[in-house]
Amino acid sequence: MNIGERVKLKRLELGLSQDELAARSGTTQQSIVNVETGKTKSPRNILELAKALNVSPEYLKDGDGSSNISYIGARESKGHYPLISWVNAGGWLEAIEPYRKEDIDVWPETTVNASDGAFWLRVKGDSMTSPVGFTVPEGMIILVDPEKEPVSGKLVVAKLESENEATFKQYMVDAGRTYLKALNPHHPPTIINGNCKIIGVVVDIKWEHIP
C-alpha cells in the first residue's frame, strides 16, 4: 500500500470527502486527488494531512508494517457499538427497534465519532474487494452511522426494495444518475431511482481481529 492508498483509506474510515479533507489540511481538493491517485508521491503538507487524518506522518509515509488496516497509533476510544446482522440492518428503516441490545454479544470498539444509533456489520462476499488500491474484503467490519448524510463517493449501507438484506456499496451521483457502485469491477453498478433507501454512511472500517 502506498501513501496515496493510505490517505484514501484513512479518509474513508473517517467518513470524509476529498473536499472535507482538503479543508482540514489547508489544501485543495485537486491536491488530495493528486495524492490519492499517486500523481503526488511526496506531498509537502504531509504533517497537515497526518493531523487531519489522526495518524502519524510516519504511518502515511511508510505504513504500519502490519495487516491491521485500522492501526493508526494511540487514539482515544470513542465507544463500543453493536455488531448486528445484515437482516437486522435491512429492517432498520421499518422497525422502531431493529434489534435488542441485550441480544447483542459483540460490541467492537471504535476511535471514530459516531451517533448513538451507529452499528457494526461484518462484510460478506467480494463485491467490495478491489484488485488494486482501496479494498474492503470479506470478514472486515464496518461501522454504519444512520445520522450521517450520504454524499457522492462515500461508502454506504443501503436497502433495495426488492431485497430483504441491506447491501454495502459506494454511493455515487454522476451526470444526473444515482447508483450504488461495487469496488470489485466484476460487479455491475446498481442504478437507484426511488427504489432504494440509504440506511447509513460507513465511518469506520477495520479487522475485528488481526488475521
The predicted structure's pLDDT at residue 202 = 92
Phi/psi of residue 170, each to 5°? -95, 130
CATH code of the domain covering residue 48 = 1.10.260.40
Query: Rounded to an integer, what distance in angstroms lies between the CA atom of residue 136 and that of residue 42?
Result: 25
pLDDT cut 70: percent of the chain above it: 88
On whether both 48 and 92 belong to a single domain, the answer is no
User: Is residue 27 scored above 90 in pLDDT?
Assistant: no
Do 11 and 114 lie in a common domain? no
| Structural domain includes residue 41 | yes
Q: Is residue 72 part of a domain?
A: no
Residue 211 is assigned to a structural domain of this protein: no
Q: Say how many domains are in the chain.
A: 2
- Please report whether residue 100 resides in a domain: yes
Split at pLDDT 50, 70, 90, the class of 26 is: confident
pLDDT at 109 over 60: yes
Amino acid 50: pLDDT: 85
Q: How high is the pLDDT of residue 97?
A: 56
Q: Which of 105, 139, 147 is nearest to 208 (CA)?
A: 139
Per-residue pLDDT, 54: 82
Looking at the structure, tell me whether residues 134 and 160 fall in a common domain. Answer: yes
Per-residue pLDDT tens digits for 49-103: 888 888 888 888 877 533 233 434 445 778 999 999 888 887 765 544 556 677 7
Query: Which pLDDT does position 96 carry in this prediction?
Result: 47
Instruction: State the chain's mean pLDDT as an integer.
Output: 83
55/85 same-domain check: no
Do 42 and 96 have their domain in common? no
pLDDT at 210: 54
**Which residue, chain included where needed, has cell 477495520?**
206
> Does any domain span residue 70?
no
Verify that 117 and 165 share a domain, yes or no. Answer: yes
pLDDT confidence band for 123 (50 / 70 / 90): very high
Say which CATH number the domain at 185 has. Answer: 2.10.109.10
74 part of a folded domain: no
**Do residues 56 and 110 share a domain?**
no
In a domain, 12, yes or no: yes
- 102 and 201 inside one domain: yes
> 171: domain range?
79-206
Residue 32 has pLDDT above 50, yes or no: yes
Clarify whether residues 25 and 101 are in a common domain.
no
User: Which has the closest alpha carbon to 92: 51, 134, 61, 121?
Assistant: 121
In a domain, 56, yes or no: yes
Summarised one tens digit per residue, pLDDT across range 167-182 is 999 999 988 899 999 9
Q: 186 and 148 share a domain?
A: yes
